[in-house]
Amino acid sequence: MPRCREPVLSQVLTVAQMRAAEEDLIAAGSTVDALMQLAGRGAGEWVRRIAGGGSVTVLCGPGNNGGDGWVIAEYLREHGNAVQVVQAREPVTDAARNAKALYRGAVVSAGSVTAGDVFVDCLFGSGLTRALPDDLLALLCDLAALHRHRIAIDLPSGIESDSGAALNEGLPEWSLTVALGAWKHAHFAMPACSKMGAVRLVDIGVAALPGAARVLAKPKLEAPAADAHKYRRGMLGIVAGEMPGAALLAATAALRAGAGYVKLAAQAAPLVVPPELVVTGDAAGMLADARTSALLVGPGLGRSDEASRLLAAALHAGRPTVVDADALVLLRPAMLSGAQCILTPHEGEMSALERAFGLSGAGLRRDRALALAEVSGAVVVLKGPDTLIAAPGGETVLAPRASSWLSVAGTGDVLAGAIASRLATHCQDLEQALRAAEEGLWLHGEAARLCGPAFTAGELAHAVQAALKACHGGGYEGTS
Ligand SMILES: NC(=O)C1=CN([C@@H]2O[C@H](COP(=O)(O)OP(=O)(O)OC[C@H]3O[C@@H](n4cnc5c(N)ncnc54)[C@H](O)[C@@H]3O)[C@@H](O)[C@H]2O)[C@@H](O)CC1
Ligand SMILES: [K+]
C-alpha cells in the first residue's frame, strides 16, 4: 500500500536510516532509478548555478553515487555546458548502469583532462566502507587540483558518512557539498564538515524517520505576555565563584536572551557591574528564593572545596540548572537532586564527566553525549567545532558549523548564560530544557555570525540581543 508522508528536510540520517528511507519511498511507489534522477537533477541544478556557462568534469565511481554523476553530467549537457565524464570504475549497480546509458556526452580518460571550471566528485557517497585505494585517491586529488570550483555530491569521497571521519590523508577541500535526500551525520561532524565548503540539500521526498537526529533550527520566540512582569518572565540566579568576570559575561548574555531578572550571587563583586544586574552576597538567600526559576553554576566557579559546596547547594535547591565549566569537573552523580539540569561540557569537561559517571568515553561524540544524558537524566550540550545536544530518551540535535571566531576566551560563559536565560524563561520539564538548550545554542551561533571577525566575548554577549530579535519576526514588541 503506497504511503504518502510529508518530506522532512531537517533530519540527519545514518546510512542505515537512509536505506530505510529509500525503501519507504520505493514502497510508496518510487524506484531507485526515479530517485537517482530526482537527486541527480537536483544536484545538477546546483552545479549549473556554480558553473554558469563554464566547463564541468564529473568523476563517476562504481556505486549509486557514480550513478548520480551520470545523471548530473547529462543534466548539464542538456543545459548547454561543456561536460566530460571520467569513469573511475565501471558501474556495478543497475541504477548506475541505467543512468550511464542515458548519458549522451563525452567520456574521457583522466590523463586528457585539462584545467576547467568545475569538478564534480561522484566517486563515492554514503556507501564508502574503507579508505580509497591509492590510484583513486590520486585521481581524485589530481582532478580536484585542475578545477577552480570543486563540488562533492552527497559526501566528499573518502569521508565516512556516519562518523565524519576522513578515511584517507590528503583529501581535497570542497567549495560546495550537495547532500542528497537527507543530511548525513558527516555533514555536521568534524573533521568532515570543515572541508565541505557550503552545504546544500536536495529534496527527494524523504519522510520523517523515527529516531533520526535533527538540525538545530532558528527558534520561534514569543514576546512576553501583555501582563508579564520581571518574575513571570523568569528570574535567573547565577552562582559566581572565585573569578566573577566569567559569571558576569554569562549574566551579560542572560540579560539579553529573554529572562526578566538576572541575579548574580558573588562573594566578591566584579569590578564593573552593569546597573541592570543585581549582585548579592547572599547565595543561600538567592537559592532559597521561590521566585528563582532557574540557576546557572560554573563559569568562574573555581575547583576548591568551597566551589564544590556551592555547586552542591545550587543543585540541592531543586531548580532547573545549567551546569557549566568548573562545575562540570566537580559534579558527582550524587549531587543531582532530580531537578532538570543542562550540562554544557567541552571535550575536556566531557571526559571528566564520563569518569565521574562511570562511562567508557568510547565511540562517536553523539553516542557519548547520549550515554551521558541517559545516565545523568540531564540534557547534554557537547561543545566544540561540531556542537551537538543530546537528551535523555535519545533526541539528538546537531548544530550547523558556527563561526570559527568563537574560539576565544569567554564564549562558553556567554553560551551558558544564553541557555540559562532561556531555561529561566520556560523551564518546567525535560522537553523545555531541551528547547532552552536549542534556543541558547542558536542565539550564540547567530550572535557570533552578527559579530563578524575578531570579537570579544563581551561583544558576543551583547550581540545576543540582536540574535534574539531575529527570532521574533515582526512581533517582538508584544503588540501584534
Ligand atoms: N539511498 C538513496 O535513497 C539514494 C542514494 N543515492 C546515492 O547513492 C549513494 C550511495 O550509493 P551506494 O550505496 O551504491 O554507495 P557508493 O556509490 O558510495 O559506492 C559503493 C560501492 O563502492 C564500493 N566501495 C566502497 N568503498 C570502497 C573503496 N574504498 N574502494 C573501492 N570501492 C569501494 C562498494 O563495495 C560499493 O560497490 C549515495 O551517496 C547517493 O549519492 C541517490 O541516488 C539518491 C537516492
Ligand atoms: K561524492
Predicted confidence (pLDDT) per residue in 400-423, tens digit: 999 999 998 899 999 999 999 999
Cβ-based neighbours of 193, under 8 Å, separated by 6 or more: 164, 186, 187, 199, 385, 386, 401
Cell matching residue 34: 526515479
Q: Is residue 375 part of a domain?
A: yes
Taking the C-alpha atoms of residue 352 and residue 348, their distance in angstroms, rounded to an integer, is: 7
Nearest listed ligand to the Cα of residue 123: 2
Q: What is the pTM of this model?
A: 0.94
Q: Is residue 224 part of a domain?
A: no
Contact yes or no for 294/321 (Cβ under 8 A): yes
Indicate the pairing of strand 183-184 with strand 198-202.
unpaired
Q: Are residues 250 and 366 in the same domain?
A: yes
The CATH number linked to 444 is 3.40.1190.20
According to the model, what pLDDT value does residue 84 have? 97
Q: Are residues 206 and 261 in the same domain?
A: no
300 marked ligand binding residue: yes
Residue 60 beta carbon below 6 angstroms from any ligand 1 atom:
no
Q: Is residue 189 part of a domain?
A: yes
Q: Is residue 222 part of a domain?
A: no
The sign one gets for the Cα dihedral 252, 258, 263, 266 is: negative
Q: Are residues 202 and 157 in the same domain?
A: yes
State which of 128, 132, 140 you would mutate to test the pocket of ligand 1, scoring each by most atoms of that ligand within 8 A of its C-beta.
Answer: 128
Contact yes or no for 448/403 (Cβ under 8 A): yes
Q: Are residues 332 and 269 in the same domain?
A: yes
pLDDT by residue (tens digit) across 325-360? 999 999 999 999 888 999 999 999 999 999 999 999
Contact yes or no for 327/344 (Cβ under 8 A): no
Q: Is residue 477 part of a domain?
A: no
According to the model, what pLDDT value does residue 479 have? 42
Q: Is residue 107 part of a domain?
A: yes
The total domain count for the chain is 2
Q: Are residues 258 and 186 in the same domain?
A: no
Cell matching residue 310: 556551592
Residue 132 beta carbon below 6 angstroms from any ligand 1 atom:
yes
Contact yes or no for 144/158 (Cβ under 8 A): no
Residue 336, amino acid: L
Write down which residue in 178, 212, 246 finishes a domain: 212
Q: Are residues 198 and 249 in the same domain?
A: no
Q: Is the ipTM of this complex over 0.90?
A: yes
According to the model, what pLDDT value does residue 291 have? 92
Taking the C-alpha atoms of residue 413 and residue 88, their distance in angstroms, rounded to an integer, is: 50
Diameter of the chain measured on Cα atoms: 78
Closest CA to 119 of 139, 149, 156, 89: 149
Closest CA to 349 of 424, 444, 415: 415
Q: Is residue 3 part of a domain?
A: no
Q: Are residues 242 and 347 in the same domain?
A: yes
Please tell me the chain's helix, strand, coil percentages from 3-state DSSP, rounded to the nearest 5. 40, 20, 40
Q: Are residues 202 and 257 in the same domain?
A: no
Q: Are residues 383 and 246 in the same domain?
A: yes
Contact yes or no for 251/413 (Cβ under 8 A): no
Peptide bond into 333 cis (omega under 30): no
Helices (H) and strands (E) in the chain, counts: 14, 19
Taking the C-alpha atoms of residue 418 and residue 415, their distance in angstroms, rounded to an integer, is: 5
Cβ-based neighbours of 165, under 8 Å, separated by 6 or more: 159, 191, 192
Low-confidence ranges of the chain (pLDDT < 70): 1-5, 427-428, 474-480
Residue 166 beta carbon below 6 angstroms from any ligand 1 atom:
no
422 marked ligand binding residue: no
**166 bridge partner residues:** 159
Cβ-based neighbours of 427, under 8 Å, separated by 6 or more: 234, 293, 294, 320, 340, 433, 436
Q: Are residues 143 and 239 in the same domain?
A: no
The CATH number linked to 203 is 3.40.50.10260
376 marked ligand binding residue: no
Q: Is residue 228 part of a domain?
A: no
Residue 64 beta carbon below 6 angstroms from any ligand 1 atom:
yes
Q: Are residues 167 and 244 in the same domain?
A: no
Domain span holding position 392? 235-470
pLDDT by residue (tens digit) across 145-154? 999 999 999 9
67 marked ligand binding residue: yes
Write down which residue in 181, 212, 243 finishes a domain: 212
Distance 65 CA to ligand 1 centre (A): 5
Q: Are residues 173 and 268 in the same domain?
A: no
